Amino acid sequence: MELGKIFGAPGSTIVWGDDRPLLNWVAYALASVTSSEFKWTDIQFPGQALGPTDPLSRHLIPPDRLRVVRASDMAPNNAAANMPVSAVIRSDETPGNVERLLDFLRLPASTQRLLETPPPGAQPRVAVLSNGQRIVALYPTPQAIAPTIRAIVEAGTIMIMTFADAGPEGRFQFDNVLNVEGSVTRGWQEATLKVEKWSPSGPFRVGTALRLGDLAPLAAVIARGLSYGTAVPAVSPAR
């Protein structure tokens, strides 16, 4: 199956399932075919060792585009968003602008810095967040997730998040939802992408199940990545 442009505009995608390395490969492929300048943030435990089948264990993402953080670094900045509105917002701002600014202020500091960096050229920035399951306690409800997604997307971002666990309740707050079933070690080409939700203008149709090996652009990126690079030592989260 040949794919056209997967993401035509800023939006949000969650890729969830059981096999963490495979989710990362799918996210890596989605990001790679969208922009060669994508940024990647990985939520890791201190001293975590990455397996050799994980794309993050290889020299595939340049260090200046890869950031490793702790779960606590991704906590919402509620203190900033709860400041008196008059301290940060002009009195003549529309309610919509007030809401957007408060959504932005609520983002973690590292996410704010990422969004303040201009995207490459005229294209939206592409940002991957892997191991989203590790911050579910910080965003426990769909109502907690929605403003965060909205702020990131409205800043001109194509956001891709992986979630290595059962499908979270809030996943339908994302524009696109992919459930990935399969394993890198048991033949990633046979993995299945089940489309639970997708933007009407995108190449996937809700309810379809797609064989990863048949998605030529994504399969080519994964095959090339698995044949290139070597495992690297465990990475400690940045402070």
The pLDDT confidence band at residue 35, using thresholds 50, 70 and 90, is: very high
- Note the pLDDT tens digit of each residue in 51-105: 889 999 988 999 999 999 999 999 998 765 555 554 555 555 555 566 777 788 8
- Note the pLDDT tens digit of each residue in 151-189: 999 999 999 999 999 999 999 999 999 999 999 999 999
Cβ(152)–Cβ(64) under 8 Å?
A: no
Q: Report the pLDDT value the prediction gives residue 4, as an integer from 0 to 100.
A: 61
d(CA 155, CA 108): 14
Considering just the CA atoms, what is the radius of gyration of the chain in Å?
A: 18
d(CA 235, CA 219): 27
For the segment 183-209, the average pLDDT, to the nearest whole number, is 94
Cβ(218)–Cβ(229) under 8 Å?
A: no
pLDDT reading at 233 higher than 50: no
Q: Report the candidate in 205, 41, 183 with the shortest Cα–Cα distance to residue 107.
A: 41
User: CA dihedral in degrees (54, 57, 58, 60; nearest 10)?
Assistant: 80
Dihedral class, residue 207 (left if φ above 0, else alpha if ψ from -120 to 50, else beta): left
For the segment 202-210, the average pLDDT, to the nearest whole number, is 93
**Domains within the chain, CATH numbers bracketed:** 11-221 (3.40.50)
Mean pLDDT score of the chain: 87
Cβ(30)–Cβ(179) under 8 Å?
A: no
Q: Report the candidate in 219, 172, 195 with the shortest Cα–Cα distance to residue 28.
A: 219
Question: Which DSSP symbol is given to 30?
Answer: H
Cβ(30)–Cβ(6) under 8 Å?
A: yes
- What pTM was computed for the model? 0.89
d(CA 226, CA 233): 17
Distances (CA, A) of 15 to 19, 79, 180: 11, 30, 7
10-14, 28-32, 109-113: least confident range: 109-113
Instruction: Give percent of the chain above pLDDT 90.
Output: 68
Question: Which DSSP symbol is given to 69?
Answer: E
Question: Which DSSP symbol is given to 239?
Answer: -
- Residue with token string 């060669």: 36
Q: Report the candidate in 46, 47, 49, 29 with the shortest Cα–Cα distance to residue 38.
A: 29
